[in-house]
Amino acid sequence: MGPRETRWLKRTVLIGLGGTGKEALLRVKKKYVEVFGEVPPLVRFLLIDTTPAATDAIHAEDPEGRTTEVSLEPNEVLFIEARGASMLPRTHDEIRQWFPPKADLKSNIISGAGQIRALGRLALFANAHCVYEGLRALLSQARDYLLERPAIEHRYVYRAYTPHLTVCVIGSLAGGTGSGIFLDVAMILRDILKDEDQLFGYLLLPDIYINRPGTQNVEANAYGALRELDYYMSLEGTHRYSFGGREIEVRKKPFDMVFLVNNRNRAGKTFNDIEHMAELLGLGAFLVSGPLGKEQADVFDNIVMQLTEQQGAFYGKRAHFASFGAAELRFRPEQVNLERARREASDALQRLFSADGREWGVTEFERKLHAVVTSELPKSDPLDVPRPTASRARSRDEECWRTAQEAFRRLEERACEESVELLKKEIARFEQELAGEIERSFGLYAIPSFLDGLEKLRTQAHELAQQLKRDLDDEQQRRKESDSKFAQQLPVQRRWFGRLRADDEEQPKVNRSTIQQRWEMARAIGHKEARWRAAFELEKALEQKIEELRWLQGAASEWLTRFAGQTQQAVAPTVKDVLPFTVTLPPPYLPQQSTSTGGTSDGLERLKQRGFAQLCENPERVLDEVFRPSAASSLRDWLIDVARRERSDYLREAVERALVELDALSAPAWDYQDAWLANPHVARREQVHIIGIEDKNDSLHPLLVGEFRKIFAGNVDATRKLAVVSTGDPKRIYLYKIEASIPAFTLQGIEMYRERYLDLSSDRSFHVDRQLEQHIPELVPVPSGEDAALIWTKAQLFGLIRYDSRTMTFQRRGQQDSSKEGWHELGRSLGQAFACFQRDFFGFKELESMVNERERGETRNRLPQLINSVREALDYSRKQLELANSSGNGTGYQTPEDRRVLEAQIAVLQRWQEELVSYRPPDREYKFPTLGAE
């Protein structure tokens, strides 16, 4: 097994809420299996739901084409149930403080929250300790340093390029569970996370659920949830509340960025299947963890930083919300080419690994084998082993002999070491020449021929090593016997009665001749041992080469078996999954022959060109590269071939259609009213497009140059912001678009959410806290009561609002006729008409503009008449209020709302009258002298 590739990721925690969160988490896991072949240890999952989900599973196809089942592990599911739920608001102090009085109750919450947001939150509070400790343990596990330690069971080495966490909360705003708990989960996470960690929300809007059975609350739920979210995202200072006896303190807004996702994107694509939206949420969460590489994560983090620090407001409403779009381009030509490639590979490997009777001659290497061990060895004395000196007296022979023997031993060692070093070079030269000959002969001879030749050489090396070992043993035995015999002659006899014996007068035995003879013998023994070791090393080297060839044969056989299985799966795939955000090339609807862009040559010849050394180093990679169809090896090369075709070519037209579809699918998954965001004095929107290709430095990639790139350009601004990142994946292209930020009230359909919310709020609650129902601001930028009363009163005086046929109406700009069609109905009573007027922001802004124009003209040209009209209107309003306050008057101003409108009108008219009376226009023109024209 070769070295494993390193994959850089974020330390990511993905938390799914409710049914939508569950489906999204399953699809994130599926994406990891498809791209990585496994779920990386740096990514953690947790589902919080009021419905058990342990048995839910979907299928995925790994990079080898194997089909596997993907599901959530038991430790990745936190089931929050509440038995006896109807008693909790009466017995639980924390819940009593917030539970809305108009919220419906259920006896038990064990199979969903029934689209009631307060019940979802109730189930969360009922399991407060388990939820808090579970989230804290999850974040602690995600920071574990062992996650970056290479593990045997993982395909890649995973590295985190930042120690900080990226946490994504995924759910829906439409139901009861996700919509009811997403804010609490975010605030609990804020309480646990570090300031450097990032927290993102991925929230699905309700349109996908509209008109389905049992979904009458989805729009109102979403509106209530968006109001609460907008309120907390705008809240300054620290927010505290009690959760399970623990004080939750939030010093930051709930999310660093909130991504709203709808079933219609900015390109007009509509998705009507809930699973499709889960696929998009899963793809977005998959990409945010950084599988596109470190560059993609840096780009994304920079965008988040810009958006979170963005200043400005739209009509007084802060822009907190973003969206994203994502799509994937897959290169899948296997159905066209893999079967042909399998047959070609099978034929080539059969010829390479089957005996063909041809003999690979090794006569020359037999000679070289003997030449290595018989090479001439140095006879010079080692500098670090001095030659011993002869004895000067018979009485000193023993001492000198002991010293000499130590020198002889060192000489044997050093002579052997120096000779081994020299022979190693000869052995290396032999191995190099042998490898070169195999490399040159590779493809000309079958592997069994190489094995036979190498086995012959190994046998000779073994016999040579045995012979040299016998010679060495014989020489060492002779040396031992000679030394023993010589040592017996060394002892000197002692004095006898004061006289020396005759032996004491003899010459020393350890003389120069003895030392020279023994010195040469020690050098010879050292050389013999070196030659034996060299022969033994040659035998081991040849044995290793034989094992390498046998291992190669087995590896090639395993590869061919696996390749055949992949081919069968590719031609007849078993996973029948709908991938709405995936575009496939070559287009599957085209005939197979029309999608091919190049031919192939003989497989064995291509293998020969790669060389024997590369094949042995990594047979799986080489065989993949050689025998995978050339058209399937690289999307880049295939697209280059397609781009060279004429524009009228059928294949090129089909590819361009696919790229246009990819661009449209990746449009941000929401829609909004541009008219709300066109004011140049407010905050700007950020649009960033990220394209992930194999190598961002590839200046010739067809999606970065030429005609294909124009498809992704969009406009000048989008072109400038197109960020290119490297994926290292030759068969996938990712297109990822982020758009931010806008206020929630600009969303397409928000008025429908609001209308549904207002219609149903009279008898039920769509909030998760009783205090929020009355105190949080409106989501839409309605004018304040004072501003509305001011324009309302002045518009009546100027005839822009009038009472006609028992109905109050107002006139829009550009419709200055007296016909009924030019006037828009507000209501039949003052209170009803004023409330309708205050809710109509567009109408308010139009009347404000017209009122200001009329007031400037009347003040300048007819000030006395204007003062008189204001006085009459003030008197009339006071009389109407007096009548309204008297009982039984039959005036029609009987409701408190009517009387409040009259009171507001009177206050406006009083202030206006005072302003007009004190107004002093200039009595003469101010003309500063200027230099006149010549």
549-568, pLDDT tens digit by residue? 889 888 888 888 888 776 66
In one-letter notation, the amino acid at residue 854 is R
pLDDT of residue 932: 62
Q: Is the pLDDT of residue 631 over 60?
A: no
Percent of the chain with pLDDT over 70: 87
Local confidence band at 431 (pLDDT 50, 70, 90 cut-offs): confident
- Per the CB < 8 A criterion, the answer to whether 892 and 881 are in contact is no
Query: Tens of pLDDT along 674-687?
Result: 877 776 555 567 78
Please compute the mean of the pLDDT values over residues 771-794 and round it to a whole number: 85
Residue closest to 355 by CA, chosen among 549, 613, 618 = 549
Residue 271 phi, psi dihedral angles, 5° rounding: -120, 125
Task: Tell whether omega for the bond before 213 is within 30 degrees of 0, i.e. cis.
Answer: no
Tell me the pLDDT of the chain averaged across its residues: 83
Q: Is the pLDDT of residue 187 over 70?
A: yes
Alpha carbon 490 to its chain centroid, in Å, reads 85
Q: Is the pLDDT of residue 73 over 60?
A: yes
Residues 222 and 216: their CA atoms lie apart, in Å, by: 12
Residue closest to 179 by CA, chosen among 228, 138, 252, 136 = 228
Local confidence band at 597 (pLDDT 50, 70, 90 cut-offs): low
CA atoms within 13 A on the CB side of 200: 25
Q: How many CB atoms lie within 10 A of CB 881?
A: 19
The tokens for 583 are 């575009």
What is the helix (H) or strand (E) element at residue 897, kind and residue range? helix 896-917
Residues 394 and 140: their CA atoms lie apart, in Å, by: 83
Bridge-partner residues for 158, per DSSP? 7
Alpha carbon 569 to its chain centroid, in Å, reads 28
Query: Which is more confidently placed, 750 or 505?
Result: 750
Q: Is the pLDDT of residue 186 over 90?
A: yes
Q: Is the pLDDT of residue 127 over 50?
A: yes
Place of tokens 């024997």: 612
Residues 841 and 891: their CA atoms lie apart, in Å, by: 30
pLDDT of residue 843: 81
Residues 19 and 111: their CA atoms lie apart, in Å, by: 11
Query: Tens of pLDDT along 253-309?
Result: 999 989 999 999 999 999 999 999 999 999 999 988 876 666 667 777 777 766 665
Q: Which of 1-15, 64-78, 182-196, 316-330 has the highest mean pLDDT?
A: 182-196
Residues 563 and 223: their CA atoms lie apart, in Å, by: 54
- Per the CB < 8 A criterion, the answer to whether 601 and 297 are in contact is no
Q: Is the dihedral of CA 566, 567, 569, 573 positive or negative?
A: positive
Q: In a 10 Å sphere around its CB, with 0-12 CB exposed, 13-18 middle and 19+ buried, how is residue 292 labelled?
A: buried
Query: Tens of pLDDT along 331-383?
Result: 876 665 666 677 788 888 888 888 888 888 888 888 988 888 888 888 887 77
Alpha carbon 631 to its chain centroid, in Å, reads 28
Q: Is the pLDDT of residue 545 over 60?
A: yes
Q: Is the dihedral of CA 764, 770, 775, 780 positive or negative?
A: negative
3-class SS of residue 484: helix
Q: Classify residue 314 as left (phi > 0), alpha (psi -120 to 50) or beta.
A: beta
pLDDT of residue 234: 87
Residue 609 phi, psi dihedral angles, 5° rounding: -65, -30
Q: Classify residue 442 as left (phi > 0), alpha (psi -120 to 50) or beta.
A: beta
Query: Which is more confidently placed, 250 or 630?
Result: 250
Place of tokens 């430790």: 75
The tokens for 111 are 């199979």
- Per the CB < 8 A criterion, the answer to whether 727 and 293 are in contact is yes
Q: Is the pLDDT of residue 496 over 80?
A: no
Provide CB contacts within 8 A for 27, sequence distance 6+: 58, 278, 279, 281, 282, 283, 286
From residue 486, alpha-carbon distances to 352, 505, 793 in Å are 63, 19, 135
Provide CB contacts within 8 A for 369, sequence distance 6+: 430, 457, 460, 461, 464, 538
Query: Tens of pLDDT along 209-258?
Result: 998 887 889 999 999 999 999 999 988 888 888 998 899 988 889 999 89
What is the helix (H) or strand (E) element at residue 416, kind and residue range? helix 397-441
Alpha carbon 775 to its chain centroid, in Å, reads 39
Please compute the mean of the pLDDT values over residues 812-840 and round it to a whole number: 70
The tokens for 857 are 């003209």
What is the helix (H) or strand (E) element at residue 283, kind and residue range? helix 274-288
**What DSSP string runs through 4-35?**
PPEEEEEEEEEEEEHHHHHHHHHHHHHHHHHH
Query: Is the whole-model pTM more than 0.85?
Result: no
Q: Is the pLDDT of residue 145 over 80?
A: yes
* 801-804: strand order across its sheet: 801-804, 807-811, 823-827
Residues 881 and 830: their CA atoms lie apart, in Å, by: 12
What does the CA dihedral 810, 815, 818, 823 come to, rounded to 10 degrees?
A: -30
Please compute the mean of the pLDDT values over residues 186-202 and round it to a whole number: 93
In one-letter notation, the amino acid at residue 296 is Q
Residues 556 and 565: their CA atoms lie apart, in Å, by: 14
Least confident of 50-59, 75-84, 449-458: 50-59
Residues 576 and 568: their CA atoms lie apart, in Å, by: 15
Q: Which of 3-7, 63-67, 220-224 has the highest mean pLDDT?
A: 220-224
Query: Tens of pLDDT along 875-901?
Result: 988 888 888 777 544 455 568 888 888
Give the ranges where 634-676 is alpha helix by DSSP (H).
Answer: 635-643, 650-665
Please compute the mean of the pLDDT values over residues 386-400 and round it to a whole number: 82
CA atoms within 13 A on the CB side of 902: 21
3-class SS of residue 531: helix
What is the helix (H) or strand (E) element at residue 60, kind and residue range? strand 57-61
Place of tokens 């979904």: 215
Q: Classify residue 162 as left (phi > 0), alpha (psi -120 to 50) or beta.
A: beta
pLDDT of residue 817: 46
Bridge-partner residues for 47, per DSSP? 16, 77
The tokens for 339 are 């079967």
Give the ranges where 241-273 is alpha helix by DSSP (H).
Answer: none
SS3 string, 534-563, reads: HHHHHHHHHHHHHHHHHHHHHHHHHHHHHH
Q: Is the dihedral of CA 800, 801, 803, 805 positive or negative?
A: positive
Least confident of 131-135, 136-140, 398-402, 464-468: 398-402
Bridge-partner residues for 686, per DSSP? 740
Alpha carbon 326 to its chain centroid, in Å, reads 12
Local confidence band at 815 (pLDDT 50, 70, 90 cut-offs): very low
Residues 67 and 57: their CA atoms lie apart, in Å, by: 13
Query: Tens of pLDDT along 691-736?
Result: 888 888 888 888 888 788 888 766 545 445 678 888 888 888 999 9
Residues 127 and 125: their CA atoms lie apart, in Å, by: 5
What is the helix (H) or strand (E) element at residue 67, kind and residue range? strand 67-71
The tokens for 889 are 């008057």
Residue closest to 714 by CA, chosen among 677, 693, 678, 689 = 689
In one-letter notation, the amino acid at residue 264 is R
The count of residues in the chain is: 934
